[in-house]
Amino acid sequence: MMDTTDKQQSYEEMIQRFQNGEEKALKTLIRSFHPIMKKTIYHQIREQDPVDDIAQNCWYIIIKKLSELELKVSFKAWALSIARRKAIDWIRKQQQCAKHAQTLKSETESEQKQAATDYSDEKLKKVQEGIQQLPATQQIVLELFYLDNLSLKEISNLLEISKGTVKSRLFYAREKLKQIIS
């Protein structure tokens, strides 16, 4: 088994071979270093699903810079710093998305409440205007039944009319009100 220095020299050697035109060296580098990169990314974000996508983005950057790379630090340190930065970028993006989603949810709820209030106010206004257009006898029965919560019998006794007349006035008042409103 290779120790850390041997692996690092191996990475450096693969990079050198790739820079000299040997394409297989890149595949070998990726195959040997990819698990380390994925592990680092996972430890940063603590979620398995996005690890492969983030690693792919890291390899895109690494490969793009690899042909003219002159390492001042070890390949491992350089590549893992890219992986950490990409993981942090992913975390920030998730936080921004969550914050944006919460803002949208709050705005939507607020707009829905306002729309419901506007609709309720508008409908109430129409009903009130509609009631004003009804004959006085129907208006009184509606108000006693719906606003004062009196029973048909109580309205009958109060207005000194039959219970059937109260029912009839309520029925015709509601029908006429439906026509006025719609």
Q: 4-27, pLDDT tens digit by residue? A: 666 767 898 999 999 999 999 999
pTM of the model: 0.57
4-99, what's its fold?
A: Rna Polymerase Sigma Factor; Chain: A (1.10.1740)
Write the burial class of residue 112 (CB in 10 Å: 0-12 exposed, 13-18 middle, 19+ buried): exposed
Calculate the CA dihedral of residues 54, 57, 62, 68 and round it to 10 degrees: -160
Scanning the structure block, which residue is given the tokens 């006085």? Answer: 136
| Distance between first and last Cα of the chain | 84
The 10 Å Cβ neighbour count of residue 173 is 23
Q: Which long-range contacts (CB under 8 A, 24 or more apart) does 125-128 make?
A: 126/180, 126/181, 127/177, 127/181
* Mean pLDDT estimate for the chain: 86
pLDDT above 90 (res 41)? yes
116 falls in which pLDDT band (50, 70, 90)? low
Fold of 133-181: Arc Repressor Mutant, subunit A (1.10.10)
Percentage of the chain beyond pLDDT 90 is: 43
Helix (H, G, I), strand (E, B) or coil at 104: helix
What is the band of 31 on the pLDDT scale with cuts at 50, 70, 90?
very high
Domain extent listing, the chain = 4-99, 133-181
Q: Which one has a higher pLDDT value, 28 or 147?
A: 28
Model pLDDT for residues 80-93, shown as the tens digit of each residue: 999 999 999 999 99
Q: Region 159-165: what's the mean pLDDT?
A: 90
pLDDT band for position 67 (cuts 50, 70, 90):
confident
